[in-house]
Amino acid sequence: MKHVLITGGSRGIGAAAVRAFSATGADVSFFYLQHEEAARQVAAETGATAVRCDVADGEAVMRAVAALPPVDVLVNNAGIAHYGLISQISEADFQRLFAVNVGGVYHCVNAVLPAMLHEQAGCIINVSSMWGQVGASCEAAYSATKGAVIALTRALAQELGPSGIRVNCVCPGVILTDMTRVVGDETLRELAGRTPLGRNGTPQDVANAMLYLAQADFVTGQLLPVNGGFVL
């Protein structure tokens, strides 16, 4: 791994991925959007390069990637969520979910692809969710975006495999981040109790799966669940 680009790298799973890949000696860059102080701290801790970029903005992504070294490993981690009934989400919020969670993957893949095609090598790791596999009540829009990421992963693996580019996907379960803590401690305890391994996951659990996929040279088009057995 020469240069790794991680989107949504200032907090949670993304920050854990920045730390994990940096620890391997790779040159790491990461995108962030809102949490500037957290991004500074991650960059200072790891030596990674922090770049402010909205992955939903295709032109901004192209400019940001053009200013970086060629990307060998792309981790499409940036994502947002919405909790509530489908009737309670506005059309604008619905569109924003797709713009970030699906459009962000599209923009970042297209930005790094020319260099990967030139080298006839590369690794793309997308982040979906177990809800992208089975769906979740009160998270219909979010589940739909993550299902789209799974379909995109499988299609791109077939499209890009002949060019030496691997595309895989991690599907986290309940991971203890700011995104999941909004459901409350009682719900998190209940979810941990329904998980065969008896706990919720950590960002490091997901980062470890990403490290595996980055080095698994004969693995492509696969979904790697990181959910403690919650969804089998």
List the catalytic residues.
Answer: 142
Supply the angle between the helices 103-119 and 91-101 in degrees, to the nearest 10. 20
Across 135-165, b (16+ Cβ under 10 Å) vs e yields eeeebbbbbbbbbbbbebbbebbeebeeeeb
CA distances from 194 to 137, 213, 231 (A): 16, 27, 10
Residue 112 to residue 68: CA distance in whole angstroms: 10
According to DSSP, the residues that pair with 32 across neighbouring strands are: 52
